[in-house]
Amino acid sequence: MRKLLYVLTAVLLFIQVAHAAGPELRSDHPDRYTVVKGDTLWDISSRFLDNPWYWPEIWHANPQVENPHLIYPGDVLALVYIDGQPRVTKVARSGNGVVKLSPKVRSTPIDTPVPTIPLDAIEGFLSDTRIVDPEVLDAAPYVLEGEDSRIVTGAGDRIYARGKTDADTLGVFRRSKAYHDPDTNEFLGLEAKAIGAADVKETNGEVLTLLLKRTDEEVRIGDRLLPTEDRRISPTFNPSAPDSDIDGTMIAVEGGVTQIGQYDVVVVNRGTREGLKPGNVLAVFEAGNTVTDPYTKEAVKLPDERAGLMMIFQTYEKMSYGLVLKASRTLAVGDRVGNP
C-alpha cells in the first residue's frame, strides 16, 4: 500500500511539473518595447520571459501590420492578453508615431529583420566550416600545383587540379577534424575547412585550370575542391525548446580555446536524428565533483549544476553547432547539454 502511495505521489508531481512548464513572464517585463538596431530575437524574448525558449508560445502574429512574423528596428511590441493568456504582438503605428491597434494603419519596416542571434558571431565560422562524409572529400578533385610549378598559391594565382566537376566555381577545402562520440566512439562527421574559392577557367580531360579569386590562407598541393554552397543562416528562426529529450555533450569549441564563454561556437554530439533543429535552446551543465564520503569512504558523485545556455544554429545528422548565449561560469569541452 505504501509503495502504491509513493507511485501515485510521483505521478501527481510529474503532472504538476508538466502543467507548470510554459512561458514565465519576467517580474520586470515591459508592457511596451521599441525594437532598436542591434537587438536580436533572443534579447527581445529575454526582456519578456524568464525562459526565452518559450517565445513561440507567447508571440502573436498581428494581421493588422506588414510582415507580422518578422520584427524590425523601430517596431513597437506590446504585451497583451488574449483569452486570458499573455501574448506579445507588433502594434501598428500612425504617421505621427502614435501606437494604434487599428486594422487601417499598417506599419512599414525599416532596415532588415532582427536576427535570432548575433550573426557576426557565426558568419565567419559558417564560411570556414563544412561537415562532410570522408568518401565525399576523398572523391573530390584536388590541387596538383600552382602556376610556375609553385607548391603554395594565393588569391589571383592560377592553379591546376585533377578531377571531374560540372561547377563553374569551386571552394578549396582542407581535411580538418574528425568528430567521434566521446561515449560510444561513433563517427559523427568530418570537418572540411574552407581555404578559398576558385573559378574554373578550362577543362582538359581530368585536368582543371582554375583562377583563385579568394583565399583565407595559402592553397597547397592536395587541397580538395568542392562545389560552393549557400552557407547563409535564416535570421528568422525562433528560440524554442527541443521537441524531444536531449542528453548530449559539448565535444569541441571553435578556435580550440580551453575556457568557453558567451558567443563561443561549440560542437554538440547530437543532431537531427535526435530531433535537434536550428533555434533549439539547450542548457549547459557543469559536471559535479566526485567526493569521498567521510564515514563510508565511498566515492559519491555530486549532481551536475546548470552553468549556461546555448542555441543550436546548424544541424547535421549526428552533430550540431551551437552558440553559447549565457554562461554563469567558465564552460569546458565535456560539459553536458540537455533540455533547458
The set of residues, in sequence order, having a beta carbon less than 8 Å from that of 237 and lying 6+ positions away, is: 116, 278, 279
- pLDDT, residue 125, reads 62
- pLDDT, residue 19, reads 39
- Specify if 3 maps to a domain: no
b/e 186-213 (16+ beta carbons within 10 angstroms → b): eebbbbbbbbbbbebeeeeeeebbbebe
Per-residue pLDDT reduced to its tens digit, 30-46: 999 999 988 999 999 99
Domain region containing 162: 123-227
- Specify if 9 maps to a domain: no
- Give the residue from 180, 218, 190, 213 showing the smallest Cα distance to 130: 190
Top-confidence range, 112-116, 328-332, 335-339: 335-339
- Specify if 32 maps to a domain: yes
Note whether 107 and 140 are same-domain residues. Answer: no
b/e 58-81 (16+ beta carbons within 10 angstroms → b): bbeebebbeeeebbbbbbbbbbee
**Dihedral (Cα; 286, 120, 109, 86), 10-degree rounding:** 0
Three-class SS state of 134: helix
Contact 100/91 with Cβ under 8 angstroms? yes
Q: Grid coordinates 554563469 are at which residue?
A: 328
Note whether 286 and 197 are same-domain residues. Answer: no
Q: From CA 323, how far away is CA 42, in angstroms rounded?
A: 12
When comparing pLDDT for 289 and 317, which is higher?
317
- Specify if 237 maps to a domain: no
Give the predicted TM-score (pTM) of the model: 0.78
Note whether 208 and 153 are same-domain residues. Answer: yes
Contact 187/139 with Cβ under 8 angstroms? no
- pLDDT, residue 17, reads 40
Domain of 221, CATH number, reads: 2.40.10
- Specify if 206 maps to a domain: yes
Please say if the pLDDT value at position 143 is more than 90.
yes
Query: Measured between alpha carbons, how far is residue 18 from residues 12, 22, 292 in Å?
Result: 10, 9, 36
Contact 46/19 with Cβ under 8 angstroms? no
The residue out of 165, 199, 227 marking a domain boundary is 227
Note whether 219 and 179 are same-domain residues. Answer: yes
- Specify if 305 maps to a domain: yes
- Total of domains in the chain: 3
Note whether 214 and 270 are same-domain residues. Answer: no
- Specify if 235 maps to a domain: no
The set of residues, in sequence order, having a beta carbon less than 8 Å from that of 279 and lying 6+ positions away, is: 116, 237, 238, 239, 240, 311, 312, 313
For residue 135 the three cell numbers come to 568518401
When comparing pLDDT for 66 and 179, which is higher?
179
198 forms beta bridges with: 170, 212
Note whether 169 and 154 are same-domain residues. Answer: yes
Contact 113/70 with Cβ under 8 angstroms? yes
Note whether 173 and 260 are same-domain residues. Answer: no
Query: What DSSP character marks residue 240?
Result: B
- pLDDT, residue 332, reads 92
State phi, psi for 237 to the nearest 5 degrees: -75, 155
Per-residue pLDDT reduced to its tens digit, 168-195: 999 999 999 999 999 999 999 999 988 9
Note whether 83 and 147 are same-domain residues. Answer: no
Note whether 105 and 129 are same-domain residues. Answer: no
Domain of 311, CATH number, reads: 2.40.10.410
Please say if the pLDDT value at position 200 is more than 70.
yes
Contact 100/94 with Cβ under 8 angstroms? yes
Per-residue pLDDT reduced to its tens digit, 217-235: 999 999 999 998 765 556 5
- Specify if 8 maps to a domain: no
